[in-house]
Structure 1
Amino acid sequence: MTHLQFNLDMDLLKESVINSNLDMVIKSALVLVLNEFMEKERDDYLQVAAYERSAERRDYRNGYYERELILGIGKLKLKVPRTRNGEFSTSVFEKYERCDQALVLSMLEMVINGVSTRRVTHIVEQLCGENISKSFVSSLTQKLDPIINEWSKRPLNVMYYPYVFADAMYIKVREHNRVVSKAVYIASAITDR
């Protein structure tokens, strides 16, 4: 089992606890821990500690870049360490990518259920405190197009349906700059399995 040693700035952590609300305390502590964890990952990758000379060195430190990580408690701004050759990659973002995927999947679910892109952006802003563009939501829905096309073009004659129910409803749609009534056909079936 890997042993991790964290060097935290306790004065900064203490100041964050005393002068802020609980959310800010949790965010500050999480930022400190994740930044230190990424630093340890870089040391393990390089096979040397900071300011240490060794023949086993794989690469050299090359500063940091900032990246945001969105979690349930909000947005965290992290300092991601990097190396000169750029081959080092931290696992922090892979571990917490599930949160981002859950957000994206919930946005796709909203679009599938007929929520407008403008309303989706408003809902995400209310839930996460994050602004996302309508074009981002539109690009997500474009990823659904191949799946929907494959589903709609699947053959229906490969299975026996003893019961088929068909219905239609009329809705108003805009077509060639005027509103017309169009039929939406609905069919459902039950298999014998």
Structure 2
Amino acid sequence: MTDDEVERSAERAAVQQLVDAGLLDDLMSRVDAGEVQLTGEGGFLPEMIKAVLERGLAAELTGHLGYERGDPAGRGSGNSRNGSTPKTVATEVGDVDLATPRDRLGTFEPRLVPKGARRTGGLDEMIISLYAGGMTIRDIGAHLARTLGTELSHETISKITDAVLEEVKAWQSRPLEELYPVIYLDALVVKVRDGHQVRNKAAHIAVGVDLDGIKHVLGIWVQANEGAKFWAAVCAELANRGVRDVLIVCCDGLTGFPEAIEATWPQATVQTCVVHLIRASMRFVSYKDRRAVAAALKLVYTAPNAEVAEAALLEFAESDLGQRYPATVSTWTAAWERFIPFLEFPPALRKVIYTTNTIESLNYQLRKIIKNRGHFPNDDAVVKLLWLAIRDIEDKRARQRAAEAGKARNKRTAPGHLVEGAATHGWRPALGALTIAYPDRLAGRI
């Protein structure tokens, strides 16, 4: 049992003692009768927190002075109690007015509620969780005022969320594995203020699959400039963090990216995401013809080799449908050199690199979080929110799984990992195919 589980177990035991003693039943009956309110000014929970904090502060002062209140041992000690200072602290259940004890020499430094602190740690965590869930700073301020009666300035809330930036930077610069067999790259569009204008930028998320088939979010980058220069910087960063080799990079035909990959990892295979390619080519097709065009294109990307695929594409191009939708044909022709590596692999490996759905599922969740935002003030704010959102989603899923621990497998409904820590479906046969395709680069690693 972990330390956190031990603490939670002790907390549950304490609550159970209150229940067994009938104290909570009495409290709830008084709440139901309207005699007691739980939250808000003068509510039971704020008053309970006040009593606990003041008792804890008094105990800290006793420890600092070295003697109890009224103890003769304190006479002539050189320091003594000196009344208290009023202080209002914002908590998860509303504002709490505290009487913070003082000592005559002014050397007492409380740890429970430090000097200068105007919030409890739980409130900071609540604000960060609300921010990670997609609420803007203005929304969070209104929510706290409405639900808790606590009013915090926009500047205060912004500082609380900015406090995680150091953690984000540490995550973004952490050491990585030497080799990732597969890296997926995808992007979502965000609006970012750039000077006096708001413009669309692409926030790119890279997910790497390690040798055990476990997925990891390697980093988040907001594209500051076009093409090769940006991707060269991203690849250099990954290399500096320890990535010495990549076997396959699956992405969506990003300008400058294949060249940057090949300059950093010359032996890497850059593979266009087949699903992205299908979607891009289908944009030009009317609804009534989509099924027929999709059936024709399937013969291309399921072909056993490049020669058969090329023949299938040529046959489609010369057909009535191909003549009607030349833009669909040209989409495949333009991406051909980055598509055909896919055809060299056996079905087990094709299933793994067929699509960037790994990140698309994540991006779907992230889009729901950012859709209510007008724009971000800068690139750092984008990375901060996306990182917090990913962490928040994975934490919630982990709590759901923990709550169902011990249940029969067919009775569990909690979702698995979204991306971070998720296992790649069909990895064992895919890894076998990789060892055949890249024997020298995987030798001694498996």
Shorter-chain TM-score range? 0.5 to 0.7
Q: 1:38 touches 1:90 (CA, 8 Å); kept in 2? A: yes
1:165 pairs with 2:184: yes
Unpaired segments ≥5 residues, structure 1: 1-16
In structure 2, distance between residues paired with 1:179 and 1:34: 46
Deviation of 1:84 (Å): 0.9
1:101 pairs with 2:121: yes
In structure 2, distance between residues paired with 1:123 and 1:25: 18
In structure 1, distance between residues paired with 2:129 and 2:90: 19
1:184 pairs with 2:203: yes
Corresponding residue for residue 266 of structure 2? none
SS in 2 for 1:59: coil
Q: In structure 2, which of residues 159, 168, 177 is the aligned counterpart of residue 148 of structure 1? A: 168
- 1:123-138 equivalences under 5 Å are 123-138=143-158
Against the structure 1 CA distance between its residues 155 and 49, is the aligned structure 2 distance closer, same or farther, given a 3 Å change threshold? closer
SS in 1 for 2:158: helix
Q: 2:189 touches 2:203 (CA, 8 Å); kept in 1? A: yes
Corresponding residue for residue 7 of structure 1? none
Deviation of 1:101 (Å): 1.6
- 1:12-91 equivalences under 5 Å are 21-23=35-37, 24=42, 26=44, 31=50, 35=54, 42=61, 45=65, 47=67, 49-50=69-70, 55=75, 57-89=77-109
TM-score, structure 2 as length reference? 0.32
Greater C-alpha Rg: 2
In structure 1, distance between residues paired with 2:52 and 2:194: 57
TM-score, structure 1 as length reference? 0.63
SS in 1 for 2:167: helix
In structure 1, distance between residues paired with 2:111 and 2:174: 39
Q: 2:192 touches 2:198 (CA, 8 Å); kept in 1? A: yes
SS in 2 for 1:132: coil
Against the structure 1 CA distance between its residues 119 and 49, is the aligned structure 2 distance closer, same or farther, given a 3 Å change threshold? closer
Q: 2:141 touches 2:153 (CA, 8 Å); kept in 1? A: yes
Against the structure 1 CA distance between its residues 55 and 121, is the aligned structure 2 distance closer, same or farther, given a 3 Å change threshold? closer
In structure 2, distance between residues paired with 1:140 and 1:148: 14
Q: 2:92 touches 2:122 (CA, 8 Å); kept in 1? A: no
Deviation of 1:100 (Å): 2.1
Q: 2:92 touches 2:126 (CA, 8 Å); kept in 1? A: no
Deviation of 1:162 (Å): 1.8
SS in 1 for 2:163: helix
Of structures 1 and 2, the one with the larger relative CO (CA 8 A, separation 6+) is: 2
Aligned residues: 171
In structure 2, distance between residues paired with 1:92 and 1:170: 43
Q: 1:46 touches 1:57 (CA, 8 Å); kept in 2? A: no
Deviation of 1:69 (Å): 3.9
Q: Which has the higher strand share?
A: 1
Q: 1:63 touches 1:81 (CA, 8 Å); kept in 2? A: yes
